[in-house]
């Protein structure tokens, strides 16, 4: 009843009712048309975006694969270069150790040469001569000291270059590690799909991280590391060749000088033996002469005594004949004969005394010279003993214990000329 009693709403005409129906139909058709267009555009957009997404994903995977291959190739290049650097470091270290052994091996020759000089300084008198042995020994000491200085310089250079190689090796190692990490990340990204549970939306993933580099900078960085390592290896190879050649040349110089010194020492020893033998022969002769001179002096003295006795006899006869009395004190032939005999005996005694004095003076001079010769012989024997001790001392240079410590020097000539290792004679 309340509905029936309610006031009726505004009534429309039939024409309004028809217009409203037509408008609803037209609007429905328009909306269906718009919806159809939107649906077709949506389907087209879906197909297009699906293709684009699929292509982009495929292209990204291809780029990731290419990038991974490029990184892997450079990693292999760096690893090969690092291995060569390790081999070169081992070769240079071995060369440095051989040079250190060669340097240590010069200690005994220097000690022997200095000891020989010290021994020969013990000579006395005229035996302390500046002879060729002194010259050769001093040249040998100077040569050994120069060899030690040159070898020490090469050792220091090798050590410094080992540090350079170590730095290059460190750079290669860091680059290899970075590429391994980058390769792991790229391979992990390549393995991801839309169904992977690890994927999620990130905050500002398109940002450029600080420290990023361009592909050209990335290429130049690895290329620079390889180029630096190769240049360092070339320098190291040249250094090893120079060191080995220098060692061989110095060893040859030492051997040549050693032979020259030993030749001079043997020659000097021979000359001293000759001088000693000559002096011994002279001493023997002068001793024989001394003995004969002493015998002659005894003979002269005996003759002098005999002539003195004869003079006494003549004097006594003359004196006794002066006691003849009267005319018997005659200067007869006996008187003249005794006077002549006295004059003759006095001249003979004078000559004998002079000759005896000369003989005694000569004897004293020969005895003094004999003493000097004995002293000189003692010094010659002492000098000869020192020379022989020096020669014995130098046998340490050719002893097995010394030669075992000196490595055989090899000259690495395996370079661009294609020559193989040559062994230089020491």
Instruction: Read off the pLDDT of residues 234-293 as tens digits, 9 standing for 90 and up.
Output: 999 999 999 999 999 999 999 999 999 999 999 989 998 999 999 999 999 999 999 999
Which pLDDT does position 413 carry in this prediction? 34
Which pLDDT does position 246 carry in this prediction? 94
Reported as a pLDDT band with limits 50, 70 and 90, residue 17 is confident
Report in angstroms the alpha-carbon separations of 151 from 51, 156, 185: 73, 9, 50
Instruction: Read off the pLDDT of residues 126-159 as tens digits, 9 standing for 90 and up.
Output: 888 888 989 999 999 999 999 999 999 999 999 9
Reported as a pLDDT band with limits 50, 70 and 90, residue 6 is low
Higher pLDDT, 1 or 13: 13
Extract the tokens encoding 400. 């097995």
Instruction: Read off the pLDDT of residues 41-68 as tens digits, 9 standing for 90 and up.
Output: 899 988 988 898 888 888 888 988 898 9
Q: Give the pTM.
A: 0.72
Higher pLDDT, 332 or 18: 18
Extract the tokens encoding 264. 């001079």
Which residues are CB-neighbours of 363 under 8 A, at least 6 positions away? 290, 293, 294, 297
Task: Give me the chain's average pLDDT, please.
Answer: 86
Q: Which of 205-219, 319-333, 372-386 has the lowest mean pLDDT?
A: 319-333
Higher pLDDT, 414 or 369: 369
Tell me how far apart the alpha carbons of residues 199 and 205 are, in angstroms, rounded to a whole number. 13
């Amino acid at each position: 009843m309340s509905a029936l009693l309610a006031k009726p709403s505004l009534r429309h005409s039939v024409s309004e009712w028809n217009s409203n129906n037509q408008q609803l139909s037209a609007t429905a058709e328009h909306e269906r048309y718009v919806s159809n267009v939107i649906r077709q555009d949506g389907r087209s957009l879906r197909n297009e975006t699906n293709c684009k997404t699929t292509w982009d994903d495929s292209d990204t995977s291809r780029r990731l694969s290419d990038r991974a291959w490029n990184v892997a190739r450079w990693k292999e290049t760096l690893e090969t270069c690092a291995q060569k650097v390790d081999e070169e470091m081992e070769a240079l270290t071995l060369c440095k150790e051989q040079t250190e052994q060669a340097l240590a091996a010069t200690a005994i020759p220097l000690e022997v040469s200095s000891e020989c000089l010290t021994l020969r300084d013990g000579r006395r008198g005229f035996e302390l001569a500046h002879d060729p042995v002194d010259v050769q020994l001093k040249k040998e000491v100077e040569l050994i000291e120069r060899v030690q200085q040159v070898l020490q310089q090469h050792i220091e250079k090798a050590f410094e270059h080992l540090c350079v190689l170590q730095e290059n090796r460190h750079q290669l190692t860091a680059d290899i590690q970075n590429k391994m990490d980058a390769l792991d990340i790229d391979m992990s990204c390549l393995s991801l799909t839309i169904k992977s549970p690890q994927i999620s939306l990130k905050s500002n993933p398109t940002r450029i991280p600080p420290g990023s580099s361009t592909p050209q900078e990335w290429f130049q960085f690895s290329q620079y590391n390889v180029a630096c390592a190769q240049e360092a290896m070339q320098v190291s190879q040249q250094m090893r060749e120079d060191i080995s050649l220098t060692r061989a040349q110095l060893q040859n110089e030492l051997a040549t000088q050693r032979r020259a010194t030993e030749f001079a020492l043997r020659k000097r020893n021979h000359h001293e033996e000759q001088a000693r033998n000559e002096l011994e022969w002279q001493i023997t002769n002068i001793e024989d002469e001394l003995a004969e001179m002493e015998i002659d002096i005894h003979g002269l003295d005996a003759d002098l005594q005999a002539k003195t006795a004869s003079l006494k006899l003549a004097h006594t006869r003359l004196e006794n004949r002066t006691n003849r009395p009267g005319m018997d004190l005659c200067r007869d032939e006996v008187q003249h004969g005794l006077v002549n005999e006295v004059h003759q005996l006095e001249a003979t005694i004078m000559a004998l005394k002079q000759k005896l004095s000369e003989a005694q003076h000569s004897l004293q001079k020969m005895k003094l010279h004999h003493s000097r010769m004995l002293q000189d012989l003692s010094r010659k024997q002492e000098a000869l003993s020192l020379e022989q001790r020096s020669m014995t001392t130098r046998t340490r240079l050719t002893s097995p214990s010394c030669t075992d410590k000196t490595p055989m020097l090899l000259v690495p000539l395996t370079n661009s000329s294609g020559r193989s290792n040559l062994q230089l004679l020491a």
